[in-house]
Homo-oligomer: A and B are copies of this chain.
Amino acid sequence: MINITFPDGAIRQYEKGTTALDIAKSISEGLARKVLAAEVAGQVWDATRPIENDTTLNLLTWENAGGKSTFWHSSAHLMAEAIESMFPGVKFWVGPAVENGFYYDIDLGDRSISEEDLRKLEVKMAELAKQNNAYVRQPISKQDAVQYFTNKDDEYKLDLLKGLPDGEITFYTQGSFTDLCRGPHIPSTGFIKAIKLTNIAGAYWKGDERNKQLIRIYGVTFPSQKQLDEYLQLLEEAKKRDHRKLGKELGIFTMDDDVGPGLPLWMPNGTIIIEELEKLAKETEKDAGYKRVVTPHIGKENLYLTSGHLPYYQDSMYPPMELEGVKYYLKSMNCPHHHKIFAAEPKSYKDMPLRLAEYGTCYRYEQSGELFGLMRVRCLHMNDAHIYCTKAQFDQEFRAVNDMYLKYFKIFGIEKFVMRLSLHDPAKLGQKYIDEPQLWLETEDMVRQVLKETGTPYIEVPDEGAFYGPKIDVQIWSTIGREFTLATNQVDFAQGRRFKLEFTNQNNEAETPLIIHRAPLGTHERFIGFLLEHYAGRFPTWLAPVQVKVLPISDKFIEYAKTILQKLKKWDIRAEIDDRSEKIGKKIRDTELMKVPYMLVIGEKEVAENKVSIRRQGKGDLGAKDADEFINAVKEEIAQRSAE
């Protein structure tokens, strides 16, 4: 018998050679029908693979990232089977799961593939899925594997084999298709109930443009048709809300080849949103006792050797500039600069906690191919701050940070969010994790308590903490249900020591502070990208670049309209006038397109009655009101940062 430890700590005994699927069945048939794979001793395995030793076990379903990616990887094999049946002689390169689905890179020789072919492939895949063929794992010697693909005349798989050590090679077979694959896979093809092949693209072999161009076919699959329908609807909605499209239409940001990829230029409308966000952050941080600093965007090599960014993080940094024999780097994080400000003057316990905030601009190198609108950029305006505190202050400080997140979620109408708390593994102290067993347990527990007590949704992830302390990744969902990683919080036991930061404690001894890294609004780039989708460009009034547009029905009313405009401006309401000689219908349509929250229509009646007729974006006519009454209501709406 072997001992199986479950995630809740329970230990049960099973026959040696049992499988995750057997174990699931022993719990319930319903569970077994959902199990796609299993985490065995921290590694994702086939649910059907025999377990021979004592181990930890975590059953993976569609709800787990590991379950989902296994499902999609198996779907890539299913697609390959369908392709091979339709295009005999096709050669296969690699077919991984990706963020939303999977792809396979294939070589069709001189043949090409059409949208129509994709529809046929979907039908074929559905047919093969119905056969409910098992994914069968088969360890194989390198010699036999090479023989197999030599017979198949598949130079791509032979190339892959070159890099694999003998003894670790496995084949997977489902139905009539066999692939070189280290797995894992779902138990059988019958799990795949809904299939959509989404895209055909070209992809150079090994990503090198000097190589042959292969055909990449993208697809996505689900355990039910309902999930696929929902997903396609989400895609449709997301397309309408694409932040790149809206960003251009609304004059939010632009990119320029001469400036460089991943380096957005913020246009006047985008800059208004940036300034409103910064105003919110500065107000919030001031109330929470933060002090602001401003630091340069570069630092000497030595700074990043001290911080440890060099050499470990070098690949994500811009290359250095060498000046007077010294290497300077664009900063990829603000912490080293803030630590230097902490260290600039002697500190005592009376100075603690010290909270240093800066909307610091960092530069990170992302590969050109990875760049995506505002979501993946090389220039990041970060809502950054570092809290230097004593151990005794940690609980309260972390609680305050968590409250700040919750406050922001409320303001922005973010209803679904999860804090992903990454913990250490006690077995790896001193190696993967800084060797402070007590501090780890204490801070992890304090974080956990705060999350529990505030009812903050969170999940715990063992063995994914940062080197220097527990880490919280904040996941949020937009109104249409797409998931975004907003920000990361980190507890840091290590940097204080690396930078020799000290304060004199009440016993007159030098003590190293704990550091909390936090950035609740993430970066302007990602957050405004998120908000564009979240609001579909219809920003709440406080964030809208133009808040009120005054629309005179004809030229005779321009004068009166201008007096209204002046009143609005006097109260710092961002207002414009449309004084073109256009029909009022066109003026309204154009203003709707720019998603301005309020339109004030001015005609004969309004002038006579000294009123304004109000139209609310997306809601239509709200009737006529006294101008001052309207202004007071809008002022209040803006001051409250109302969501509507």
Interface set of A (CB-CB < 8 Å, partner B): 251, 254, 256-260, 263-268, 270-272, 274-275, 291-300, 302-303, 306, 318-324, 326, 328, 330, 336-337, 340-341, 344-345, 356, 361, 363, 365, 368, 379, 381
Contacts and interface: CB of A to CB of B under 8 A. Distances in A.
Max chain B C-beta neighbours (<10 A), residue from A266, A320, A345? A266
A340 B299 contact: no
B323 A319 contact: yes
Nearest to A367: B324
A298 to B, nearest CB: 7
Count copies of this chain in the complex.
2
B299 A344 contact: no
Contacts of A291: 268, 271
A285 to B, nearest CB: 12
Nearest to A269: B291
Q: Is the interface of A mostly helix, strand, loop or mixed?
A: mixed
Contacts of A306: 258
Contact of A297 (B302, B320, B361): B361
Contacts of A299: 258-260, 263
Max chain B C-beta neighbours (<10 A), residue from A251, A258, A297, A345? A258
A330 B298 contact: yes
Contacts of A298: 259-260, 263, 318, 330, 363, 379
A258 B295 CA distance: 13
22 contacts: A254-B345, A256-B340, A258-B336, A258-B340, A259-B298, A259-B340, A260-B296, A260-B298, A260-B299, A263-B299, A265-B294, A265-B295, A265-B340, A267-B293, A268-B356, A270-B294, A271-B292, A272-B292, A297-B363, A318-B321, A321-B330, A324-B368
B320 A321 contact: yes
Contacts of A303: 258-259
A379 to B, nearest CB: 5
A319 B321 contact: yes
Nearest to A306: B258
A258 B345 contact: no
- For the complex of A and B, list the 5 residue pairs with the smallest distance between their C-beta atoms, beginning with the closest: A268-B291, A266-B294, A254-B344, A263-B296, A258-B303
Contacts of A263: 296, 298-299
Contacts of A258: 299-300, 302-303, 306, 336, 340
A260 B300 contact: yes
A293 B266 contact: yes
A382 B302 CA distance: 28
A256 B292 contact: no
Contacts of A294: 265-266, 270-271, 274, 381
Contacts of A340: 254, 256, 258-259, 265
Contacts of A337: 259, 265
Given A266-B295, A341-B254, A344-B254, A259 B363 contact: no
B265 A293 contact: yes
A293 B265 CA distance: 8
A575 B363 CA distance: 36
B319 A293 contact: no
A341 B267 contact: yes
A249 to B, nearest CB: 11
A319 to B, nearest CB: 5
Contact of A322 (B319, B324, B328): B319
Given A292-B275, A379-B296, A326 B268 contact: no
A324 B261 CA distance: 11
